[in-house]
Amino acid sequence: MIIGITYDLRKDYLSQGFGKEETAEFDRIETVNAIDDALRSLGFKTVRIGCMMNLLARLNAGERWDLVFNIAEGIYGAGRESQVPALLDAFHIPYTFSDPVVLGLSLNKGLTKRVVRDLGVPTPDFYVVENIEDIKNVNISFPLFAKPIAEGTSKGINSFSFINDETTLEAVCSNLLERFVQPVIVEEFLPGREFTVGILGTGPSARTIGVLEVILLEKAEGNAYSYLNKSNYWGKVDYRLADDKEARLASEMALKVWRGLGCRDGGRMDFRCDAKGMPNFIEVNPLAGLDPELSDLIILARKKGIEYKELISLIVASALERVKSTPQVQPPAFTLPLSHTANPINVPLQMQV
């Protein structure tokens, strides 16, 4: 079996002139190497495809794969994480992780929280600030917490995200609106414990693999599991396995949300407890990072005795099980109708393969 690997390599975007913050979600070459090595050690043949533009060019050239291991985040638009899965769907090529609808929904934290609330899972009160004028309409009691509505890897989150008054609220929201050119989600700040729940599988077969408590140490940036804390966690963050009443309740809620949203194969979900100890849904990551050193899901799996190769194997097994149970449709026998130009695909980013 041949497995293609789609990804966005951070150093490629940096070399194209993108900034460090813009590329924070993209992968190190060590992550791509680790996934590739794990797949090969499991007996698969692999092809490194790279970013969405590379995928588009290779599909147009007639290449196909039995499965694609997708960790591509995309860089433009509210549906950036959906672009690779949507393209693969169009060519009837199966892939790991969630489909375009789930990835598009989950990237928008406000829309996700509305669906989660409908599933009966508690989530902090929130307001979506679309523009400067919206700030005066935020009617949630302080303290508050603000972050970009469609970013991951804690981008846009720092000690200033914790807000105690209207002046700070306006300043923080104005800054985020300008920096990220997208709405800001402002939500009630919960003072309790913070958990991330790891999940493997799809639908009835989905299961939680454990709950990791995130504890900020004295040297950490305060009041937030920020990008700074997450990207350099040594000495700043303590990760502990949790299995008490609050953690088990978070685990149950996570599985309910995972199935309710239709997430697939593997990922993680974040919860924070209120003053009474009730876990509240914060956000879901159905395209979780797989950095062998830095990613929360990998740290959690390792603490539960699941090594990297085994985790990759379980993700692929879940995807292949879905493929087996899906009615097979004849894939389209065509290339993209762009051959009228000498260079049929104008790829703005030529990424390494």
The ranges assigned to domains in the chain are 1-94+328-353, 125-188, 192-320
Tokens representing 309 are 């190769």
Run of H or E residues at 47: strand 45-50
Q: What is the pLDDT of residue 251?
A: 98
Q: In a structure prediction context, what are the per-residue pLDDT tens digits for the chain, which is 353 residues long?
A: 999 999 999 999 999 999 888 898 899 999 999 999 999 999 999 999 999 999 999 999 999 999 999 999 998 888 999 999 999 999 999 999 999 999 999 999 999 999 999 999 999 999 999 999 999 999 999 999 999 999 987 888 888 899 999 999 999 999 999 999 999 999 999 999 999 999 999 999 999 999 999 998 877 776 677 667 666 677 889 999 999 999 999 999 999 999 999 999 999 999 999 999 999 999 999 999 999 999 999 999 999 999 999 999 999 999 999 988 776 666 655 555 544 333 333 344 545 54
For the chain, how many residues are written? 353
Q: What is the pLDDT of residue 353?
A: 44
**The CATH number, out of the four listed (3.40.50.300, 3.30.70.100, 3.30.470.20, 3.30.1380.10), of the domain defined by the range 192-320:** 3.30.470.20
Residue 96 in contact with residue 78, Cβ under 8 Å? no
- For the chain, the maximum distance between any two Cα atoms, rounded to a whole number of angstroms, is 65
Q: What is the pLDDT of residue 296?
A: 95
Residue 235 in contact with residue 99, Cβ under 8 Å? no
Give the Cα separation of 92 and 39 in Å (integer).
Answer: 22
User: Could you tell me which CATH class the domain 125-188 is placed in?
Assistant: alpha beta
Which residues are CB-contacts of 195 (< 8 A; sequence separation ≥ 6)? 211, 212, 213, 214, 242, 246, 247, 250, 270, 271, 272, 273, 279
Give the Cβ contact number of residue 134 at 10 Å.
16
State pTM to two decimals.
0.91
Give the Cα separation of 278 and 273 in Å (integer).
Answer: 5
Report which of 72, 67, 26 is spatially closest to residue 53, judged by C-alpha positions.
72
CATH of the domain spanning 1-94+328-353: 3.40.50
Which residues are CB-contacts of 247 (< 8 A; sequence separation ≥ 6)? 195, 211, 213
Tokens representing 203 are 């639908």
Q: What is the pLDDT of residue 225?
A: 79
Q: What is the pLDDT of residue 332?
A: 57
Alpha-helix runs per DSSP H in 79-144: 83-90, 100-107, 109-118
Backbone phi and psi for residue 319, each to the nearest 5 degrees, phi listed first:
-65, -45
Q: What is the pLDDT of residue 348?
A: 46
Give the Cα separation of 274 and 223 in Å (integer).
Answer: 14
